[in-house]
Chains A and B, each alone.
Chain A
Amino acid sequence: GAVVSQHPSRVICKSGTSVKIECRSLDFQATTMFWYRQFPKQSLMLMATSNEGSKATYEQGVEKDKFLINHASLTLSTLTVTSAHPEDSSFYICSARPLGATNTEAFFGQGTRLTVV
C-alpha cells in the first residue's frame, strides 16, 4: 500500500532553536498534505493543510509564523518549528491522501516526537 515517510522520528532540541520535520509520500503524488499534533493521551489535532505550490492553510489558534510549512513538490512537505519552546514538545504526524482520493482512506507518517529542553 501507499507509504508516507516522516523524518526524523525523534528529536531533542534546545529552547529557542528551530527544528525541521520532513514528510514524503513514497509511491504516490499528493498535492495536499496534512500536519497534526498529538499530546499525550489525546487525539490528533489538525494543525495545518499543506498545499503544493501555494501557501499552507492553518487551523485556528496555530501560529503560522511559528510553524512554517513548505510543500515544494508533489511528494514532500516540511514543517519547521521555529524558536521552539518546551510547550511545543509533542508528537507531530503528517498525512497524505493520494490525488483524487474519494473516500476517507489516508496514509500517515510514523510521527516525530519533539522534545524541547
Chain B
Amino acid sequence: LAKTTQPISMDSYEGQEVNITCSHNNIATNDYITWYQQFPSQGPRFIIQGYKTKVTNEVASLFIPADRKSSTLSLPRVSLSDTAVYYCLVGGDTGRRALTFGSGTRLQVQP
C-alpha cells in the first residue's frame, strides 16, 4: 500500500470547517483513498472513500486533485463529538489484504 503522510494533530473550535490533508505521492493507478475515524477505545469507522475529484456524503467531503498525490478530508462545522483520530489510507487490493494504518491526525475540537 502507498505510504501516507498527514499532520500529527490539529486543533479547531466548534462550528468551524476542518480540512485535513494527506500526502500519498506513490499512489497507484488502481488505488482508492479512504478515510477512517477512530474514537478512544473504539475500532475505526469508515468515513469516506474516493478515487478522483470530489466526493461528498452526509458526514464529510473528500477533495482529490488531478494528480491524486494528495487528498483533503473536509469536515463542515465540527462539533465536540468530532474529536477523534483520522486516518488516511490508500490502496486498491482485494479483501484478502489488511489495511495498513499510518500515524493518523488527532483532531481536538474545543468549545
Contacts and interface: CB of A to CB of B under 8 A. Distances in A.
Given A43-B101, A102-B94, A103-B92, A108 B45 contact: yes
Interface size class on chain B is 20 to 34
Nearest to A45: B101
Contacts of A61: none
Interface size for chain A: under 10, 10 to 19, 20 to 34, or 35 or more residues?
Answer: 20 to 34
A80 to B, nearest CB: 19
> Taking chain B's interface residues, is the majority helix, strand, or loop, or is none over half, making it mixed?
loop
Given A43-B87, A104-B34, A104-B49, A109 B43 contact: yes
B89 interface: yes
Interface string A93-111: 1110111111111111111
A34 B91 contact: no
B103 interface: yes
A5 to B, nearest CB: 10
A101 B95 contact: yes
B87 A111 contact: no
7 contacts: A44-B101, A93-B44, A97-B95, A104-B93, A106-B46, A108-B43, A113-B41
Interface of B: 32-34, 41-46, 49, 87, 89-96, 98-104
Of all A-B residue pairs in the complex, the 3 with the closest CB atoms, nearest first, are A108-B43, A101-B95, A97-B95
Interface of A: 1, 4, 6, 30-32, 34, 36, 43-46, 49, 91, 93-95, 97-111, 113
Given A44-B44, A95-B99, 8 more contacts: A4-B43, A31-B96, A34-B98, A36-B101, A100-B94, A100-B95, A104-B34, A111-B42
